[in-house]
Amino acid sequence: MAFDLMGGSHSRRSALLLFTALTTMAHAAPASAPSHLRVTLLSEYKALAPARVSWIGLRFEIESGWHIYWKDPGDSGEPPSVQWELPAGLRAGAIRWPAPERIPDHTLIDYGYEGGVLLMVPIRTPPESAAREPIKIAATVKYLVCRDVCVPGTAHVALSLPFSRRESLQPSGSRALFIQTRSRWPKPAPRSWKINALGAGDRFVLTLCTGASERHAVFFPDDPSVIKNAAPQPAVPLANGVRVTLQKSDLLVKPLPRLEGVVVLGSKGAFVISAPIHSEIKRGG
């Protein structure tokens, strides 16, 4: 064997690295301490500006093949939850969820994220006079990470940030990730769009007139009990939009007034929609 463990310093370092890698792998093995993801707390800027909203984010780096969940997890699982520990005067807002993906889970479909995601949260800061010391922001994050099996986990994260004048705020090394994440947020559907939904038998037919033909459209409901999440969503391009057929959920026990959620349109990105549902049978008028 050509591998000389007792050779020069370079080889020794390689051996040490190999050993470290092996022991790290051993620690990451499911039997001992399965986590399958890493959570860190990031800030968009190196400091907080007083009396305004600053953005921080929980960064999930997820092991290949595993996923976490959107606010509506789909057929199984649950979204991450956060308990903030903030100094007096600071307030954390709600998580802004980037558009999810459809993730097959045996015979089900989950809505979530693979690879990684930044869950951004606005923090409202008090006037400067309130704090001269660096501010410690901490959180306990509970999550469920799944592949073909699921593992619950808890992460404790923290971040210390000084206050700085608004003019002299410096972007942090994570600023690009914050900008990129904002582009994945569902935007309000433009007012010029015409969106409607038809309740027809066991289906909803969702029509979006965006002004241009769309080839791809995927609907993610806010409520997991509205459509059959695992059913395919055939999309038909129209001259000025797209039509998507959804299967009604077995859990719908009374007529649904609106179809609410997020539609992801190919290259255009994700949009928040709330479409009134018309019944298939309309008499008179």
Partner 1 sequence: MKRHFHLGFATLLTLLVSLPCWAARVGDPAPGFQAKDTLGKVHTLSEYKGRYVVLEWHNRYCPYTHKHYASGNMQSLQKEWTARGVVWFTVISSAPGLQGNVTAADENAYVKQVGASPTAVLLDPSGQLGHLYGARTTPDMYIINPAGILIYEGAIDNKPTTDIADILTATNYVSKALEEAMAGRPVSVPVTRPYGCSVKYAD
Looking at 49-57, 71-79, 92-100, 112-120, which segment touches partner 1 (CB under 8 A)? 71-79
Cβ-count burial of 169 within 10 angstroms (0-12 exposed, 13-18 middle, 19+ buried)? middle
253 is a contact residue toward partner 1 (CB under 8 A) = yes
36 is a contact residue toward partner 1 (CB under 8 A) = no
Quick one: tokens of 276?
């009134």
Contact at 8 Å (CB) between 228 and 247? yes
CA distance 73 to 112: 7
146 is a contact residue toward partner 1 (CB under 8 A) = yes
Quick one: tokens of 63?
């092991």
Looking at 73-81, 88-96, 190-198, 204-212, which segment touches partner 1 (CB under 8 A)? 73-81
Closer to partner 1 by CB, 75 or 128: give it.
Answer: 75
CA distance 144 to 30: 15
228 is a contact residue toward partner 1 (CB under 8 A) = yes
> x-or-dash pattern for partner 1, window 149-168, by CB under 8 A?
xxxx----------------
Closer to partner 1 by CB, 44 or 105: give it.
Answer: 105
Looking at 10-18, 91-99, 119-127, 142-150, which segment touches partner 1 (CB under 8 A)? 142-150
138 is a contact residue toward partner 1 (CB under 8 A) = no
Closer to partner 1 by CB, 49 or 231: give it.
Answer: 231
Strand partners, 92: 123
> Contacting partner 1 (CB under 8 A), which of 15, 46, 49, 78?
78
Q: How many CB atoms lie within 10 A of CB 68?
A: 28
> Contacting partner 1 (CB under 8 A), which of 12, 13, 38, 106?
106
Q: How many CB atoms lie within 10 A of CB 77?
A: 22
Quick one: tokens of 274?
């709330």
**Cβ-Cβ contacts under 8 Å for 64 (sequence gap 6 or more):** 115
CA distance 285 to 277: 18
Report the amino acid identity of residue 180.
Answer: Q
CA distance 39 to 113: 14
CA distance 165 to 46: 11
CA distance 166 to 49: 5
Tell me which residues in 86-105 interact with partner 1 (CB under 8 A): 105
> Least Å distance between CB 126 and partner 1?
32
Looking at 59-67, 172-180, 189-197, 247-255, which segment touches partner 1 (CB under 8 A)? 247-255
CA distance 76 to 140: 23
> Least Å distance between CB 67 and partner 1?
12
- Helix/strand/coil for 121: strand
> Contacting partner 1 (CB under 8 A), which of 7, 160, 225, 258?
225
> Least Å distance between CB 80 and partner 1?
11
> Contacting partner 1 (CB under 8 A), which of 215, 251, 276, 278?
251
Tell me which residues in 1-20 interact with partner 1 (CB under 8 A): none
Residue ranges in contact with partner 1 by CB under 8 A: 75-78, 105-108, 110, 142, 144, 146, 148-152, 224-225, 228, 250-251, 253
